[in-house]
Amino acid sequence: MSKQYKTFYYHNTRDIPGEYFPMPKSIFRLGLTAGEILVYTYLMYCEDRKTFQCHPSYATIGEAVNMSNNTVARHVEGLVRKGLITTERTTVKTRDGRTHNGSLLYTLCPLAPVEQAYFEKQIQEATARLNFKAALEKYEKRKGGGKMKHSIYKTREELPMYLTVMDVADLLGISRASAYELVREQNFPKLKIVTGRIIIPRDRLLEWLDEQTRYDRV
């Protein structure tokens, strides 16, 4: 193969030696943000294929993917939280014997367990949303009232730790008057604070909603 043909061949193929590195397809199925994918891609680029480790600085990563150090740090935290990487602090010694903090040592984790955990979480969240919606619908039927308004809350996670009466109205899609009537029921999980204001603990409210619909689960 002539030198001229080799140049043409290498510039017209995806298999240029040393110019590509493996990237797992599953990285696009794990709910990562665009920034997290960029940072992970650069870590894959730097990774030692034997140890699965690398230690680029925030500045080096940021220069490569056009991000500030703070933005890189935020995406690194996201990747750690989602189980794709682990980090370990390192130190370096100067010639005069002083010790300084070095770059983080990154270890890229196996993706199979991460993917499995992600899909299990998706299933759990979908099931929780369905149960939450079913609880509201069953409560509406049991009360025998008119059709409820659309609730502004879609999932349990959106609810505040402590709700006001108006929050309960928004949650159940009922009027303010109906919410106050509900809160006055003897077994409703409310708390009355010193100022006389009524608050409702989220977890106890959700338990109460489940209790109201339990008799239907036969």
What are the helix (H) ranges across 30-110? 34-46, 58-65, 69-81
Task: Specify the pLDDT at position 43.
Answer: 96
DSSP E strand boundaries for the chain: 53-54, 85-88, 91-93, 99-101, 105-108, 162-163, 191-192, 198-201
CA–CA separation, 97 vs 109, rounded Å? Answer: 34
Bridge-based pairing of strands 91-93 and 85-88 is unpaired
Q: State the residue for tokens 């983080």.
A: 104
Task: Specify the pLDDT at position 195.
Answer: 72
CA–CA separation, 159 vs 149, rounded Å? Answer: 17
Instruction: Give the pLDDT band (50/70/90) at residue 121.
Output: confident
Task: Specify the pLDDT at position 217.
Answer: 45
Tokens standing for residue 176:
């303010």
Q: What is the 3-state secondary structure (H, E, C) of 187-204?
A: CCCCEECCCCCEEEEHHH
185 and 135 Cβ atoms separated by less than 8 Å = no
Task: Specify the pLDDT at position 218.
Answer: 41
Domains along the chain with CATH numbers: 3-113 (1.10.10.10), 124-216 (no CATH)
CA–CA separation, 104 vs 119, rounded Å? Answer: 29
Where is pLDDT greater, at 2 or 19? 19
Summarize the confidence of residues 63-77 as an average pLDDT.
95
Mean of all residue pLDDT scores within the chain? 79
Tens of pLDDT, residue by residue over 89-105, are 988 877 877 877 888 99
Summarize the confidence of residues 137-152 as an average pLDDT.
57
